[in-house]
Amino acid sequence: MDFEYSEDQVAIRDLAKQILEDCVPTDKILALVQADGWYDQSTWKALADASLLGLGISEDVGGSGMGMEELVLVLEQAGRRAAPLPLLSTLVLGALPIAEFGTDEQKKQNLPEVAAGNRFLTAALVEEGRRSAASCRTAATRVDGGYTLTGEKQCVPGASIASRILVPAQTENGKVAVFLLDPASEGVTLLDQEVSSGEPHSQLLMVDARVEDSDILGSLENGEDILDWIEARGMIAGCAIQLGIADSALAQTVEYQTTRRQFGVPIGSFQGPQLRAADAWIDIEAMRSTLEQAVWRLATGREARRAILVAKWWACRGGHRVAHTCQHLHGGMGADVEYPIHRWFLAAKQNEVFLGGASVHQAKLGWMLVEGVAA
């Protein structure tokens, strides 16, 4: 087990860190979040120019031919800046599955433009009252040359700017398939939804929305496997972003504790704040080690499901504790919604529940243990 980064990986991490620190200062983040657009187009373009948007895309379609390990490094740095960028939705939920399961035509249509920063993608994985994307109610009805989709999806990140949305739906034979839906198609409606971080999410309504046979991702037989594949990488991506958020929030808190003075000394010199900060550091290191374990297992082709669930549990529970601790240790300034730490608090809260909170993944781990004992 080797968690050391290669020279290329260190260069990728440092380049992403430099771009995001230069392009996403704290005052710019606050201005973007308060604006209608939210997304930072100039930083997105800078990442594209540095070839960082194509890390998970093969070279023959305009990418760098790297993998999830390298992409995680960029996502962590984005989390450190709480950057208003559709990295997770476009690169992980959209581009990676198309690169893995898409036809040559689907790849050529989408991936070069993603790598160039000109195209956004996302996936609609959430339905109200459903435990997983594969247990969806959305129906795919066969028509001449394609299908029509009817159903509702909730909290679709970046749908308002996406050129294609990956939509799972139940076909008439009872199997789940994944379709590439054009949100501009007739029968598709996007309704704005508010989430904690301020990132634009949408309710996706479909009434006989047309997709062609050429819009099927993979095949009609392996939709559930594709969704498991997407969710695994989506959870790892969320863990990486949450690690960056928590690490940066603690660094800001430590700086505040050393400059804010009370009774003639820095408040960080008191035992209570020191203990809270130490506990936060322990949580962050647990988040980091479990994430690295999950990424390593996935990248080396080992069974990774349990490691991913453990990492996601730590990202949820540890990220929750760190975010609350950092806001608490800012005292009265932590209650100011325009003070920077509040932005990191909101980002952590939103990321915590992405693809399920801690209790969801703890329950899944429990069932894995039961099944293992039963076996």
Same structural domain, 127 and 115:
no
Same structural domain, 247 and 359:
yes
Q: How confident is the model at residue 338, as a pLDDT?
A: 84
Same structural domain, 92 and 145:
no
In a domain? residue 1: no
pLDDT at 2 over 80: no
% of residues, the chain, pLDDT over 90: 81
**Final residue before a domain boundary, out of 199, 221, 243:** 221
CATH number of the domain within which 176 lies: 2.40.110.10
Domain hosting 284: range is 224-374
Give per-residue burial for 285-305: e unless 16+ CB within 10 Å, then b: ebbbebbbbbbbbbeeeeebe
Same structural domain, 151 and 42:
no
Number of domains in the chain: 3
The pairs formed by 228-231 with CB atoms below 8 angstroms and a separation of 24 or more are 228/134, 229/97, 229/100, 229/101, 230/93, 230/96, 230/97, 230/123, 230/125, 230/133, 230/166, 231/125, 231/132, 231/133, 231/355
Same structural domain, 169 and 28:
no
Same structural domain, 238 and 315:
yes
CATH number of the domain within which 96 lies: 1.10.540.10
pTM above 0.85, yes or no: yes
pLDDT tens digits along 15-72: 999 999 999 888 777 777 776 677 889 999 999 999 999 999 999 999 999 999 999 9
CATH number of the domain within which 231 lies: 1.20.140.10
In a domain? residue 2: no
Same structural domain, 207 and 230:
no
Same structural domain, 109 and 62:
yes
